[in-house]
């Protein structure tokens, strides 16, 4: 039986009312109607009496069942807005978070203050490519390299770069095992949002994350939680030992003390933690000085 937009909205509200709050449900029906009926979110109420096709209704009902099973809305719609760019996502990559937009902002601010022309940036663990794509949009004269171990993720990141008309140098590389000679010879900034959730935290992770987002992109072993950070800081000290390199990492606030100790051990200067929009120490920044510059600061 044909249904109007308003009837569809009521169906979504009734079906999902025990799983999502009112605001979440509003985001859901606006997103699904945009995805499957191509009705702009601001125009939904104007079309409330419009009858939708059986085919579209079937698509929406299927999406609602997936949502009821905790599948993330962004995987269902297939894209997300991140730093004013549209990023395609699927279950081979993490869904970009609002906090990670702040990480992009930190890098952008440093790049602007540094006044380096054609600044070179390396991202470790590109995933969907959201960080690199957003940075290239903001810093069009930058040269950006982005690595990932997953071929599917690199394909998706490349698609997002092309879709947003930016040029990024993607490299298949495992920071834990592969030769660092495969990475660019010179960079000014290293940025990364590596796996940092402790396996012991699984009990407090929502089902929509735990069941659907890639486990290896989220979790680290409790016995070696700094694995990725150690490798990246050693990369700076080994490959870029005679360069001035700024880094910005997204982190687990629970690892603050261990990360500070790591930076002290590796002689990293200007170490600071940055608080996110939720009041948590979510980012670690630091700088590896050129050896001559370090002598001047002592």
Q: Is residue 208 part of a domain?
A: yes
Q: What angle do CA 5, 63, 203 make, to 5 degrees?
A: 130
pTM of the model: 0.93
Is residue 54 located within the same domain as residue 115?
no
Is residue 64 located within the same domain as residue 101?
no
Q: What angle do CA 111, 116, 120 make, to 5 degrees?
A: 70
Q: Is residue 201 part of a domain?
A: yes
Q: What is the pLDDT along the chain (298 residues), one digit of tens a residue?
A: 789 999 999 999 999 999 999 999 999 999 999 999 998 888 888 888 999 999 999 999 999 999 999 999 999 999 999 999 999 999 999 999 999 999 999 999 999 999 898 999 999 999 999 999 999 999 999 999 999 999 999 999 999 999 999 999 999 999 999 999 999 999 999 999 999 999 999 999 999 999 999 999 999 999 999 999 999 999 999 998 778 999 999 999 999 999 999 999 998 988 999 999 999 999 999 997 654 444 444 4
Helices (H), the chain: 5-16, 22-37, 54-68, 73-77, 98-114, 130-138, 151-163, 207-210, 215-218, 227-239, 256-265, 291-297
Is residue 24 located within the same domain as residue 103?
no
What is the count of structural domains for the chain?
A: 2
């Amino acid at each position: 039986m044909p249904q109007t937009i308003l009837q569809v909205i009521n169906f979504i509200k009734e079906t999902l009312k025990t799983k999502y709050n009112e605001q979440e449900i509003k985001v859901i029906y606006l997103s699904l109607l945009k995805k499957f009926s191509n009705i702009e979110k601001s125009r939904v109420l104007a079309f409330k009496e419009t009858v939708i096709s059986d085919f579209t209704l079937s698509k929406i009902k299927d999406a609602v069942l997936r949502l009821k099973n905790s599948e993330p809305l962004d995987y269902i719609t297939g894209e997300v807005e991140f730093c004013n760019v549209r990023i395609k996502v699927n279950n081979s990559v993490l869904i970009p978070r609002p906090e990670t937009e702040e990480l992009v902002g930190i890098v952008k601010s440093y790049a602007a203050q540094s006044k380096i022309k054609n600044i070179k940036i390396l991202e470790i663990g590109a995933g969907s490519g959201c960080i690199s794509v957003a940075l290239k949009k903001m810093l069009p004269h930058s040269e950006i390299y982005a690595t990932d171990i997953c071929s599917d993720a690199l394909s998706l990141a490349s698609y997002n770069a092309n879709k947003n008309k930016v040029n990024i140098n993607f490299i298949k590389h495992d920071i834990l095992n592969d030769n660092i000679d495969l990475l660019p010879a010179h960079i000014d900034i290293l940025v990364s949002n590596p796996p940092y959730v402790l396996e012991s935290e699984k009990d407090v992770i929502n089902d929509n994350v735990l069941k659907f987002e890639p486990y290896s992109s989220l979790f680290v072993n409790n016995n070696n939680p700094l694995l990725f950070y150690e490798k990246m800081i050693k990369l700076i000290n080994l490959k870029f030992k005679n360069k001035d390199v700024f880094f910005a990492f997204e982190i687990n606030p629970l690892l603050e003390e261990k990360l500070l100790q790591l930076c002290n051990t590796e002689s990293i200067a200007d170490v600071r933690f940055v608080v996110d929009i939720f009041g948590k120490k979510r980012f670690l920044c630091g700088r590896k000085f050129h050896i001559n510059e370090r002598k001047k600061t002592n």
